Every structure is written in C-alpha cells, then in structure tokens.
Amino acid sequence: MLRAWRNQPDVARFMHTEHVIGPEEHARWFVRMLSDPTVRYSVIELDGAPVGLVCITDIDLLNERCSWAFYLAEANVRGRGVGTVVEFSTMQYAFEVLGVQKLCCEVLDFNQPVIDMHRSFGFVEEGRLRRHIRKPDRRCDVVLLSMLREEWEANRPRLEERLRSKGLLPPPPEVRAS
C-alpha cells in the first residue's frame, strides 16, 4: 500500500524524487525504517481507512530537534481538514512526547499551499536551498521551515480553537466546580 501510494504521480511530484519505486527498493527502505531509532512513521487514517503517511525523521534528542513530512494519498480526503489535524497532531507529538525544542520541515517551492499551511500554524521560513532538487521539467528550490517550542506553546491555544471551530477537534473537557 505504501509503495503504491508513493508511486502515485500526485504524491511523487511533491517528493524529492519521482522515480518509480520497485519492490526491492521499497523492501530495503522498509527494513531500514523499522530498525532506525531516529524515525517514526505512522499511517494516517480517516474513518478507519488508511489515507496517507506522516513521518518524523532525523530525531536528534541530543540537540532536541527533528524533521517531519506527510502526504495524503487518497485524493478524496484532500481539502477536508485531514492535513490540518495531521499537522497539529505531529506538532503535539514532537513537542510534548519527543520533547524537542525545534521541529523542522522542507517543502518544494512550487507547493505554495503547503508552505502557506505551515506558516498558518506558526512555522517560520529559515532559508531556501536554491535549485536543490531536479525534477523532470525543472530544478526546484527547497523551502526550509521550522517552529520552536516556545512558538508552539504560544500558538497552541489559537490552533486548538481553530481546529475546534471547524469540528476537527473535540471540545475541551468541561470543568465543573464541586
């Protein structure tokens, strides 16, 4: 399933490489992924059905940082808030479970909607790797973004309210005086 997703043109075009991944290459990646303590991969589900993948990579607990990326492989779930929930959940996991001080991500320069989504969550552009990736029809810049723990802590209440207002997070637990 993961290999089929990754080989979809609508997914691959946003990756650093677009070549078709064969069974052997995928098997080698899968074995490495399972044994690498610096990565965490999770299948994204919607209503019990797998729809995409989120990965946390380059987990460096000494320097308290990691990177992340995701994709939605099922076109019918795009635009329904799934990416928003994935972004919030990944930030929550990175800062509150892994305990990192910095969460990084890279986006190809032509993927402006994802760059805008990250910025709306409080990610800050740190730089740009110019003409860094070769695509079949052009060379692309890679936009480097990050969020620091204190930015997460400052943004979290606003982000939670935003997701609740869209029905993407449950309401906060009711507190009753006893």
Sorted by where each begins, the domain ranges of the chain are 2-165
User: What's the predicted TM-score (pTM) here?
Assistant: 0.90
Distance CA 33, CA 14 (A): 21
Is 80 exceeded by the pLDDT of residue 177? no
Percent of the chain whose predicted confidence (pLDDT) is above 90: 80
User: Given this model, what pLDDT does residue 172 score?
Assistant: 75
Is 90 exceeded by the pLDDT of residue 88? yes
Is 90 exceeded by the pLDDT of residue 171? no
Tokens matching residue 126: 């740190």
How many residues are there in the chain? 178
Single out the residue of 49, 51, 44 nearest to residue 68, CA to CA: 44
H helix and E strand count, the chain: 6, 6
For residue 89, the SS3 value is helix
92-120 per-position pLDDT tens digit: 999 999 999 999 999 999 999 999 999 99
Mean pLDDT of 67-91: 91
33-51 per-position pLDDT tens digit: 999 999 999 999 988 999 9
Cα-based torsion angle of the residue sequence 75, 76, 81, 85 in order, rounded to the nearest 10 degrees: -70
Percent of the chain whose predicted confidence (pLDDT) is above 70: 98
- Mean pLDDT of all residues belonging to the chain: 93
User: Given this model, what pLDDT does residue 178 score?
Assistant: 64
CATH number of 2-165: 3.40.630.30
Is 90 exceeded by the pLDDT of residue 77? no
With beta carbons less than 8 A apart as the criterion, state whether 126 and 146 touch: yes
